[in-house]
Amino acid sequence: MEKGMLKGKLNAMLKYVLSLMLLGVFVSNVHAGSLVCSGNVDMLAYHQGAGLLVKLSSMNEHVFICSTDNEWIVPGSLAGNTSPAACKTLYSTFLLARTTGTPIKNMVFDGNAVPAACNSFAPWTSVNVRYYYY
């Protein structure tokens, strides 16, 4: 009788572990979006309490990219957080690019709200800038 109870408990535990493993496979396949956009800095703005906004010529909407006041945390970001100091650096870099008309060759956005194409951003989207160069 004890062998039967032990076998039943082992079977239940095995089903539980397999269920957790299966759930882990599905959860690990859910990941944030990542997108590369390029173009001239068409718009650069600051919204108090919300952060810095940027729009490249290839984008349909401006997006929030960081905060000069608080750590910028975007759900699903692969790059981590953006500090206020890094945000100020982004602002000065994009301001220089805007002023000189120098295009951004590649800017990688990531986060859960990143669309599949640069011309498909929803209004007021919060994203993370993982990488850029110009």
Structure confidence at residue 36 (pLDDT): 97
Structure confidence at residue 27 (pLDDT): 38
Structure confidence at residue 4 (pLDDT): 60
Structure confidence at residue 11 (pLDDT): 55
Low-confidence ranges of the chain (pLDDT < 50): 10, 14, 16-18, 20-31
Q: Determine contact, residues 97/104, Cβ cutoff 8 Å.
A: yes
Structure confidence at residue 14 (pLDDT): 43
Strands across the sheet containing 41-47:
41-47, 51-56, 63-66, 125-126
Considering the domain architecture, whether residues 5 and 37 belong to the same structural domain is answered as no
Query: Containing domain of residue 9, as a range?
Result: 1-30
Considering the domain architecture, whether residues 38 and 24 belong to the same structural domain is answered as no
Considering the domain architecture, whether residues 40 and 56 belong to the same structural domain is answered as yes
Residue 122 Ramachandran class (φ > 0 left, ψ -120 to 50 alpha, else beta): beta
Considering the domain architecture, whether residues 85 and 43 belong to the same structural domain is answered as yes
